[in-house]
Structure 1
Amino acid sequence: MSSAPNHGTGTGGTVTEAGPPAVAAPGRLQQVFSHVKVENLIAGLSGGVVSTLVLHPLDLVKIRFAVSDGLELRPQYRGIMHCMKSVWALEGLRGLYQGATPNIWGAGASWGLYFFFYNAIKGYTKEGRDTELSAGEHLVSAAQAGILTLSITNPIWVTKTQLILQYGSDPTSKQYKGMLDALVKIYRNEGVPGLYRGFVPGLFGTSHGALQFMAYEELKRGYNKHKKVPSEAKLNALEYITMAALSKIFAVATTYPYQVVRARLQDQHNTYNGVADVIARTWRNEGVTGFYKGIVPNLIRVTPACCITFVVYENVSRFLLGTK
């Protein structure tokens, strides 16, 4: 979220009259890296992989609805269950897990890197302070982590989208045998720009992860304050699930249209002249509802996915950090 979740890093030096950035940047980077913990990477990766394995078929449904712009080659679905039954009838379980390999790699890498960068940036921001971070600082830390993560993982998301949009009813759309084949062919035919389709709306999508993490942190802090315990006190599984679900619903409701724009840019069956063209054509042909296509299967998928990811992350990270 693959899933999730995405602004500069805020870690480099700034050119000023007082001196060159070459002196400041290494010092700041060293401070940031002092807060890096591989345990956060492993815990985030674990959460992303587990949630993707469980819920990938709903991701497939969401993407197919998101790009349903009237092209004749696309199968027509009446709803979530009809879509899943149609795919199952044509291709079985394998059809429901089209694009699962890049999704697992992408979700695992994205959640792992996101938590990895986020905790490092948050630790650096908080260094030497007795006060807790504000909501705005959580927002900025999460946005910076999202940009770094997206820069690394965007090619995986392009292959995932194009694999999912290979329709069993249309043999001519079966261009790729798998994730590596897709990566090679996209690079061969379109070069690096092909692997970074949808990157610009993906950058807007970093606001999704930033809003989600800000809401999650503020909900945890407010809840622990209400209980009169330290803000970082461990919660039980149900409490983590509640905080994760509320923060995810808030973020999805606020930022969903960018996911439709991004999926359409990454779709191999249509050609757009950039983000503005997608927005204009979607608005002209489908109105405001076009920007919210697939939101129901998306909410059904991402809310439990987020809950699974955060519960696994919180428990694995505490176990690993506690063991260390």
Structure 2
Amino acid sequence: MDFAIGGIAAAGAGIFSNPFDVLKTRMQLQGELQAKGQHAVFYKNAVHAAYVVAKNEGIRGLQKGLGAAVVLHAVRNSVRLGGYSMLENKGYLTNNHGETILYKSFIAGALTGAAGAFCGSPLFLIKTQLQSQAAEHIAVGHQHHHKGVLAAVKEIYGSHGIKGLWRGVSGTMVRALAGSSAQLTSFAVSKDFLREQDILKGRPLVISITASFISGIIQTVVITPFDLVSTRLYNQGVNASGDGLLYKGIGDCFIKTWRAEGFFGFYKGIGPNYLRLAPHGALCLVFWDLLKELQMKYIPTKKVDSL
């Protein structure tokens, strides 16, 4: 049940956050391996990017890759949130007073996040490639020209087998290690702090929403460089052997991006990334909390003493 709750919560949130994911992906690929001022700028910021996409590709352009995104969030977070919740319910992450133990929460968030990222990697690959597909005169990054999710699976598997579907998995696992640990730990610690505030006592929904937006800020700062690298690893073109045309792996992508675009190159798309992560995280974590409360009410689980 813990795993189903995590998946349902994330899938529901993904419907609302996907347009910002499209904008973030486009901005991260814009000017790839080019210095500032040396490339065309189609997307100036989140608002301008939304206008450009809607004008040239219609409103539906803002929901590119939605099918893959919803299933991705369900698969990835059923493992991530379900695994974290299971550890939390067993008392492994809290002390005898029910307060979160920071290092245990950090480790649990990192490991369950990486596991979820591995399971969802093929969908993340396809989602990224579908979201990057744009009208020719505003296209950035490599264009894969997939006709849909199933067509993409068929094409990638037919050309490169299972290995092709999991290409770039190292990038998304490192991304998840950083982002999941930052999000879940800051969410848990923020809730512990907010519960102690008199003005918020007896208002669990307000506490969850406030804590989720705090964790969204922290998660965005931590995850954006890893997210950019993951996006570029997934979207790059490949040769006949399935090897990337631009990057050999996560380390090579970090080095080449640093040399060509500098420190701020890693924070391209941070605006839409926050607009994606904050509401997605808020909706996901709030849905998660509400569903867990319903579970506790109707399907009580027994907690063991903390270790």
TM-score by length of 2: 0.83
Query: CA offsets, 1:109-163, max 9 Å, x none?
Result: 2222212111223344639984645111111111221122112111110000011
Measure, in 1, the Cα distance between the counterparts of 2:28 and 2:93. 42
SS across alignment from 2:133:
coil
What residue is the counterpart of 1:8 in the other structure? none
Per the alignment, residue 27 of structure 1 pairs with none
Partner of 2:126: 159
**What is residue 195 of structure 1 aligned with on the other side?**
165
Q: Pick closer, same or farther for the CA change 1:298–1:129 going to 2, 3 Å.
A: closer
Name the counterpart of 1:17. Answer: none
Q: Choose the corresponding residue for 2:73, options 107, 115, 118.
A: 107
Are 2:273 and 1:298 equivalent residues in the alignment? yes
Assess if the C-alpha contact under 8 Å between 1:122 and 1:141 holds in 2: no
Counterpart code for 2:267: Y
- Say whether the 8 Å CA contact 1:43–1:314 is kept in structure 2: no
**CA RMSD across the alignment:** 2.8
1:191 deviates by 2.6
What whole-Å deviation, never above 9, does each CA across 1:268-315 have from its counterpart, x for those lacking one?
Answer: 345211122211221121111110000011112211111111111111
Q: Partner of 2:208 in structure 1?
A: 240
Partner residue, 1:48: 10
| 2:27 corresponds to | 65
SS, match of residue 64 in structure 1: helix
In structure 2, the CA distance between the partners of 1:287 and 1:134, relative to structure 1 (3 Å rule), is same
Residue 209 of structure 1: aligned partner: 180
The residue that corresponds to 1:30 in the other structure is none
- Does the 8 Å CA contact 2:114/2:174 hold for their aligned counterparts? no
CA distance in 1, matches of 2:202, 2:246: 49
Name the CA shift for 1:129/1:139 in 2 (closer, same or farther; >3 Å).
Answer: closer
CA spacing shift, 1:136–1:227, aligned 2, 3 Å: farther
- Quote the residue 1:7 is aligned against: none
| Number of residue pairs matched by the alignment | 283
Q: Which amino acid aligns with 1:83?
A: A
Q: Is the 8 A contact 1:167 1:174 kept in 2?
A: no
Q: Distance in 2 between matches of 1:74 and 1:193?
A: 34
2:254 corresponds to which letter in structure 1?
I
State the secondary structure of the residue aligned to 2:136. coil
1:93 paired to 2:68: no
Which residue matches 1:169?
A: 136
The 3 A distance-change label for structure 1 pair 203 and 310 is same
Q: Which runs of 5+ in 1 are unaligned?
A: 1-37
Gaps of 5+ in 2: 238-244, 300-307
Distance apart, 1:234 and its partner CA: 7.0
Shift of 1:91: 2.0
Change (3 A) 1:309 1:127: closer
Secondary structure of 1:176's aligned partner:
coil
> Measured at CA, do residues 142 and 173 of structure 1 come closer, stay the same or move farther in structure 2, by a change above 3 Å?
closer
Aligned to 1:32: none
Kept after mapping to 1: 8 A contact 2:7/2:73:
yes
Distance in 1 separating the partners of 2:41 and 2:65: 17
* 2:185 is the alignment partner of 1:221: no
Give the distance between the partners of 2:20 and 2:54, measured in 1 at CA.
13
Could you tell me how far 1:316 is from its partner in structure 2? 1.9
Which residue identity is paired with 2:234?
Q
CA distance 1:75–1:127, shift in 2 (3 Å):
closer
| 2:305 corresponds to | none
Partner AA of 2:53 in structure 1: V
- The 3 A distance-change label for structure 1 pair 125 and 282 is same
Q: Name which of structure 1's ranges 65-74 and 204-213 shifts more when overlaid on structure 2.
A: 65-74
Query: Match of 1:167, as an amino acid?
Result: A
- Is the contact between residue 75 and residue 169 of structure 1 (CA under 8 Å) also seen in structure 2? no
* Alpha-carbon separation, structure 2, partners of 1:102 and 1:131: 41
Equivalent AA in structure 1 for residue 188 of structure 2 = E
Partner of 1:185: 155
